A and B are shown apart, each in its own frame.
Chain A
Amino acid sequence: MDHIVLVGASAAGLTAADTLRREGFTGTLSLVGDELRIPYDRPPLSKQVLAGDWEPHRSALRREADLQQLRMDLRLGCRATGLDTAERVVTLADGDRLGYDGLIIATGLRPRHLPFGHDLAGVHVLRTLDETLTLRAQLQAGPRVVVIGAGFLGSEIAATTRGLGLDVTLVDVEATPLARQVGTFVGGLVADMHRDHGVRLCMGRHVTGMSGEDGRVTAVTLDDGTRLPADVVVVAIGSVPATEWLAGSGIPLGDGVLCDRTCQAAPRVYAAGDVANWPHPAAGGRVRLEQRTNATQQAITAARNLLSGPEQAVPYTPVPFGWTDLYYTKIQTCGWCPSDATVDIVDGDPEAHRFVALYKVDGRVVGALGWNNARALRAYRSQLAVSVAA
């Protein structure tokens, strides 16, 4: 293999580059990313960077010197626009064509938009560092903030902006924050925490419209007629895989790039990170994970499998692991924490703001959640690993 192309210059793409070099690949390595900045990490964006505690460069995934050590043909500010799997060519927005012997797709996600409001100034999404800095600048005027969507991202943005002393309202169609991610028991505890910190909650409510004046947002309306005055609105209602450039390429697409067990999507083409969708034995079907640890772990596996060839390729069967930081609380999950599971506290106590909860479906443990209890959770993570492997 002489030339490997990696599309998507973030956590997964960069880890793949790292792994390929570490495993001895000496050929040409092209890393293509549509953002202009050197690769940076996303979890700090809604936390330290939005809060203003970290200067943007702290979120860089590598120092410049370390990037150079990877000896890459690094193409930043350059979007991949097409893929021809028969000719093995990736086409780029600037008209260049990159031939490849191996390809790893790591283009991640793009934020989902509401059908209205995004043309108004003051309405934001948050996925990139530039979007974070734009939002952060707008928070300096001390605005009233409405966050739409109380998943991990929306909850973090509400917590961070409230930490800046702003007036914050969090809206979601579900009964509690994080309901879809970890269920309503833990979601209820998160709701209490938001309230204790002074965030106004509008749960079980649909957003039906936004109004503006002179092109700037002024209010968000809800399905019960409530009108929430707003100077800044952040829409955090989920994301969709960035696969538009693969349309017509023959790469199987669905909710992301549809891979086999080894992360392979087509001969010599692999996918990793938020964009990859693959069958996981422990899940009993296909999964796609939007978690930072997965971006790294999957990129390592995809890169190794690409180099080893399909005969030696190993299936990718991780125990999913994610975390979120809200106020002074760290919530970590491993495995799956579905909203219809029964939840048992097995360590600590919610009253004491420190516990581990096990998630069971049909009497079988499928996941665990730690609330300010990282070390205790690890034991359960190891147990889940055994059950995944078995």
Chain B
Amino acid sequence: MKILIDEGKCVGAGTCVLAAADVFDQRDEDGIVVLLDDDPPHALLPQVMDAAARCPALAIEVVE
């Protein structure tokens, strides 16, 4: 699994962190998403897909 982030789209909602805290965090200054792991273990796929689906800015792309 590969995760791609479009920082320019991210609105800092943090929904991704609530959905998958092992994979996503937010920068302190502006809340923009930080990828903790761009190739997380497969077991986290459902959480990561959920984060991508719930991101209000569609800033997360998951390539399986």
Contact = CB atoms under 8 A, between A and B. Distances in A.
Interface of A: 11, 15, 18-19, 22, 41, 43, 61-62, 292-293, 295-297, 300, 321, 323, 325, 330, 332, 372-375, 377-378, 381-382, 385
A98 B29 CA distance: 50
B15 A323 contact: no
Interface residues of B, number: 20
Contacts of A300: 53-54
In this complex, the member of A43, A321, A330, A378 whose beta carbon has the largest number of chain B beta carbons within 10 angstroms is A378
A19 B53 contact: yes
Interface in B9-64: 11-15, 17-18, 26-31, 49, 53-58
A373 B15 CA distance: 15
Contact of A292 (B12, B28, B56): B56
A375 B27 contact: yes
B45 to A, nearest CB: 12
Contacts of B18: 378, 381-382, 385
Closest 6 pairs between A and B when the two form their complex, measured CB to CB = A374-B31, A374-B12, A292-B56, A293-B56, A375-B26, A378-B14
B54 A296 contact: yes
A372 B29 CA distance: 7
Given A11-B56, A330-B11, A330-B31, 19 more contacts: A15-B53, A61-B58, A62-B58, A292-B56, A293-B15, A296-B55, A323-B11, A323-B12, A323-B13, A332-B13, A372-B29, A374-B14, A374-B26, A374-B31, A378-B14, A378-B26, A381-B14, A382-B18, A385-B18
Contact of A372 (B14, B30, B57, B58): B30
B11 A297 contact: no
B11 to A, nearest CB: 6
B53 A375 contact: no
B28 A296 contact: no
A375 B54 contact: no
A333 to B, nearest CB: 11
Contacts of B28: 375
A19 B14 CA distance: 21
A293 B27 CA distance: 20
Interface of B: 11-15, 17-18, 26-31, 49, 53-58
By secondary structure, the A interface counts as helix
Contacts of B57: 41, 43
B12 A332 contact: yes
A116 to B, nearest CB: 36
In this complex, the member of B28, B30, B31, B55 whose beta carbon has the largest number of chain A beta carbons within 10 angstroms is B31
A296 B30 contact: no
A18 B52 CA distance: 12
B50 to A, nearest CB: 9
A330 B31 CA distance: 9
B53 A330 contact: no
Contact of A330 (B12, B17, B58): B12
Nearest to B54: A296
14 contacts: A22-B53, A43-B56, A61-B58, A292-B56, A293-B15, A295-B56, A296-B54, A321-B15, A323-B11, A330-B30, A374-B26, A375-B31, A378-B17, A382-B18
A375 B14 contact: yes
A62 B52 CA distance: 13
Given A330-B31, A378-B17, A381-B14, A296 B56 contact: yes
A77 to B, nearest CB: 23
